[in-house]
Amino acid sequence: MGTDEKLTSCWERVVSCCCCCCNASKQEQDRRLDTKDVRIITNPAVADKGEFDTNRPLPSPPGFKMPDRERYIALFDYSARTADDLNFNTGDILEVLDSRAGEWWLAIAITGISVNKRGYIPANYVALLESIDAEPWYFPGMKRQDAEKLLLAEGNEEGSFLVRNSESLKGELSLSVLHEKRVKHYKLQKLDNGHYYISKTKSFPTLKELVEYYSRQPDGLCVSLGKPCRKIEAPQTYGLSYNTVDQWEIPRNSIKLLTMLGAGQFGEVYEGVWNETTSVAVKTLKPGTMDPTEFLGEAQLMKRLRHPKLIQLYAVCTMEDPIYIITELMKNGSLLEYLRKDKGAILRITDQIEMAAQVASGMAYLEQQNYIHRDLAARNVLVGENNICKVADFGLARVFMKENENVYEAKEGGKFPVKWTAPEGIHDNKFTIKSDVWSFGVLLYEIMTFGKMPYPTMTNMQTVQWLAKGHRMSCPLSCPKPLHAIMMDCWKDNDQERPTFETLQWQLEDFFDMDVTSYVDSARY
Ligand code: AMP
């Protein structure tokens, strides 16, 4: 069967799904309709390797009209992954020639290491020159707790600072400054005329002017502003390169497998390199683990789910066995192994709650997208640098089930991770985002116990019977009571009484909330 036929048939399969099991909304079904538009193109970056003249203008698509050229500044370093990409460093100026693709733009370098060369750049690595987004101290989406962590990290010095959106007051900004190894926060307020101020005695038409002023003298701040806070890591690009955004199936020979990271019942996971340039994780599926057509259908949906707390699915190789699933690589492996290895040696309660909040954040996105994970557990969360956690394997449970540690038990043809599955999943085969919330409660237990098996003294069958009598796991040792209360909310019998992931996210993020009280009072000076 040709690829297009394969995609069409998997599209038909998805549409004909009854949706009582996947809880698909109109919005999701509309999104599924989009899967018809999938284009399979060959990868010139691979086919044409070595013969590409980086100064040669790339051909314009038919009907292309040159837009007003806008200049952008690079916020991060980027190493070209294909012969069609541009190398650039933070601070380089780039003129965008075509931004219609959305996620990868065609640009010409005005300054820096690729000056006068043309090529593709990831759009989320640059900001419009002279805009607030281009300021190295502007971290709009950063939470107060993350700002503290980042400013206290290596590489920052007295006076290092950033400006972020305030969590407590929507639409307002906060300034976070490192002073004597502690972080102080100031509210940046606005007058009716739009001017910014920290102290009402001195206001500024723009944030830039405010920052410049307080860089020259503290004038009441704990210290004058020094260097902008260091950015630790560049964001994930959308897909591997400009042409894999649409080109879902990539040539198998563009992937080189390096070391094995882990092995499951369904196959092995390797660290790999794509196109000899880009580190990736490669899941290899044992032949017969799943139907490639079924998998491709699900993968089309999974690929569209993009969030900083979800593992990004980059590409697949499904033309021959073993099927490869190519995703972003996470340095520290699964959360379960990470917790079990640490056992509380380094990780503190604040880290544990922060990790749980990250999982809730990824799940809140899936909730918003009307997507169901179906197998949420610490083994399916991956950890990167600085305890960054991302939810993995979302949706895969629909197409296959893993078997390990007796976690999954056969039930009417399917296999269930019994101790993580909500009662309605066990008894009625009913899976919704609310059954994911139940699983999240169990995951929270795993986090708080550094990876203990839930219901440690019980078999799967005993667990199901025990839960049916209304029992729930008690508060683990050294787990704060309010956290156990959150678990108990997740384990409510009536699924509608369980919290949303959005609520869980803010409950966990605000767990140590001192946002309002920890601000320096501007009235003091
Ligand atoms: P899995 O088969 O998904 O349970 O993966 C087996 C093991 O491979 C996990 O426990 C991880 O240690 C590792 N692994 C899976 N995916 C990745 C990834 N994207 N990055 C790094 N390690 C991974």
Q: Of all residues in the chain, what percent carry a pLDDT higher than 70?
A: 80
Contact assessment for residue 95 and residue 71, using Cβ atoms and an 8 Å cutoff: yes
CATH fourth-level superfamily of 248-327: Phosphorylase Kinase; domain 1 (3.30.200.20)
Ligand 1 neighbourhood includes 334 CB (under 6 angstroms): yes
pLDDT at 406: 45
As a whole number of angstroms, the distance between CA 416 and CA 195 comes to 58
Residues 246-297 have pLDDT tens digits of 778 899 999 999 999 998 767 899 999 999 999 999 999 888 777 777 777 7
Q: Say whether pLDDT at 441 is over 80.
A: yes
The alpha carbon of 340 and the centre of ligand 1 are apart by a number of angstroms equal to: 15
The CATH label, of 3.40.980.10, 3.40.50.12160, 3.30.505.10, 3.30.1490.20, for the domain at 138-230 is: 3.30.505.10
State the Cα–Cα distance between residues 279 and 259, nearest whole angstrom: 12
At 56-74, the pLDDT tens digits run 444 444 554 444 578 999 9
Query: Which residue, among 287, 144, 334, 135, has the nearest Cα to 215 in the 3D structure?
Result: 135
CATH topology of domain 64-136: SH3 type barrels. (2.30.30)
Output the pTM of the full model: 0.78
Distance 350 CA to ligand 1 centre (A): 25
| More confident position, 220 or 22 | 220
For residue 196, count CB atoms less than 10 angstroms from its CB and return exposed for 0-12, middle for 13-18, buried for 19 or more.
buried
Query: 326 C-alpha to center of ligand 1: Å?
Result: 11
**Does 329 sit in the ligand 1 pocket, CB within 6 Å?**
yes
Q: List, for residues 410-421, the tens digit of each pLDDT value.
A: 444 456 799 999
Q: How far is the CA of 376 from the centre of ligand 1 (A)?
A: 14
On whether the CB atoms of residues 156 and 229 are closer than 8 A, the answer is yes
For residue 472, the CA-to-ligand 1 centroid distance in Å is 30
Average pLDDT rounded to a whole number, residues 172-200: 93
Supply the pLDDT for residue 69: 76
Task: Give me the helices (H) in 271-322, please.
Answer: 292-304
Best CA proximity match to 186, nearest among 351, 194, 202: 202
* Helical segments of 100-222, H only: 144-152, 207-216
What is the pLDDT, as a whole number, of residue 300?
A: 79
Q: Following CA atoms 382, 357, 367, 404 in sequence, which dihedral angle do they give, to the nearest 10 degrees?
A: 40
Is the CB of residue 337 below 6 angstroms from any atom belonging to ligand 1?
A: yes
Q: How high is the mean pLDDT of the chain?
A: 82
Ligand 1 close to Cβ of residue 421 (< 6 A): no
CB 12 within 8 A of CB 220: no
Scored b (16 or more CB within 10 A) or e, 16-28 reads: eeeeeebbbeeeb
Confidence class of residue 408 from pLDDT cuts 50, 70 and 90? low
Of the pLDDT bands very low, low, confident and very high (cuts 50, 70, 90), residue 398 is low
| 375 carries an active-site annotation | yes
Q: Reply yes or no on whether the pLDDT at 334 is more than 70.
A: yes
Quote the pLDDT of residue 401. 46
Q: Give, for ligand 1, the residue of 236, 240, 261 to mutate: max count of ligand atoms closer than 8 Å to Cβ.
A: 261
The Cα–Cα gap between 1 and 7 comes to 10
Which atom of ligand 1 is the closest one to the Cα of 268? 2
> Could you write out the DSSP letters of every residue in 126-144?
EEETTSGGG-TTB-TT--H
Task: Determine whether the shortest distance from the Cβ of 262 to ligand 1 is under 6 A.
Answer: yes
Strands 278-285 and 323-327 come out as antiparallel
The topology (CATH level 3) of 335-400+408-509 is: Transferase(Phosphotransferase); domain 1 (1.10.510)
pLDDT at 47: 32
Query: What token pair was written down for 36?
Result: 């018809």
The answer to whether 119 touches 111, Cβ cutoff 8 Å, is: no
Nearest-CA residue for atom 21 of ligand 1:
330
User: In this model, does residue 244 exceed pLDDT 50?
Assistant: yes
Residue-level pLDDT at 320: 87
Q: Which of 92, 375, 393, 436 is catalytic?
A: 375
Q: Where exactly are the structural domains of the chain?
A: 64-136, 138-230, 248-327, 335-400+408-509
Alpha carbon separation from 414 to 225, 242, 402 (Å, rounded): 59, 38, 10
- Residue 217 confidence (pLDDT) above 60: yes
Q: Which residue lies with its CA nearest to atom 12 of ligand 1? A: 333
Which is more confidently placed, 82 or 290? 82
**Which residues, in sequence order, are CB contacts of 121 under 8 Å at separation 6+?**
74, 78, 85, 86, 88, 94, 104, 105, 107
